[in-house]
Amino acid sequence: MNDDLLNKGQRDRSHIAMGQPHEVQYWTEHLRVTTDELQRAVDKVGNFAAAVRKELGLMGEPPMTALQHGESLRPLRSAVE
């Protein structure tokens, strides 16, 4: 991610910056882990996101969906009511 909060350029999702609270929040939510679990993984394998995912056993896991974030979906009406 870009460390300059005012710069809206493309974010770097390949590395995890544990010193940036907004990045820690993003990665803990995205990977569904605690801050401590994320920190231990980064301490062990470095801050490269793919290595952290592998360490956490998340390779090939789909990214977190809006529903998993706690948002509710409006019920769909059946086309054959």
Q: What is the pLDDT of residue 81?
A: 45
Q: What integer is the mean pLDDT of 46-55?
A: 94
CB 44 within 8 Å of CB 50:
no
Taking all residues of the chain, what is their mean pLDDT, rounded to a whole number?
Answer: 76
pLDDT at 12: 76
d(CA 60, CA 72): 25
